Structure 1
C-alpha cells in the first residue's frame, strides 16, 4: 500500500491483478485498485473531479479525467473516510498509475488538488 497526504487529506492505494478478467493471449491485463481517502483536516470536503495518468511498460500514457469517482462526488467529514474500488486494463504485464483529486472545502468553497500517490500495476508472473 502506498500513501500520500495533501492538506490533511490522506490517500492510500493498493492494487491487485485480476486474472479472471485478463487474457494473456490477447495481451489484456486487468487490475483492480482500492482507494481510501481519509479526511484528517478540520474541514468538510467534497471530491469533485479525478485526473489519472495510466502508464504501461512501453511508456504509453493514458490520461483520464472526469467528475467524481465511480459515479459519485462524496462529501467527507473531518475524521471520516471514503473507500472505493475501481480498475483499469493494460496491454503490458507492468504499469503504474498516479494522479490527483480536485477537492472543495464546504465552508468557503476553496478548491485544492490532492495527490494520488504513484502505485504499480504488476502481474504475479512478471515478478520472476
Structure 2
C-alpha cells in the first residue's frame, strides 16, 4: 500500500494542476478581450482554451480528492497535459498566430508549468507503483 508521503505527492500534483488550470481558465475567459492586445493571441483562442480549462480543472481536482486515486484517470490527465504542451509549442512554430513577445513568453511559461505537472503526476504514479505490494 502506498505511503501517505507518496500519495500526498500525487495528490499535490493533481490539486496544484486543478487550481492552476481553474485560475488560468477563468482569467482567460474573463480577460480574453484584454489579453488579446497584450499577448497578440486571438480572443477566441483564449476564450475557448479557458472554456476547456474550467471543466478540466474540476475533473483533475475530483480525481485528486478521491480516497483512492485511479491510475487510469491520472494517466489520462498526464496524456492531456502532454498534448497541451505539444499543442502550445505547435501554436508558436506553426505560424497560426502572431503573438507579441509577452504572448510568446506566456505560451512557453504555461507549457512549461503544464509539463511540470505532467512530470510530477507521472512521478507520483511511479512512486505509488513502486510501493505497492506485488
TM-score band w.r.t. shorter chain: under 0.3
Query: Larger RCO: Structure 1 or Structure 2 (Cα < 8 Å, ≥ 6 residues apart)?
Result: 2
After TM superposition, the score normalised by the length of structure 1 is 0.26
Higher helix share: 2
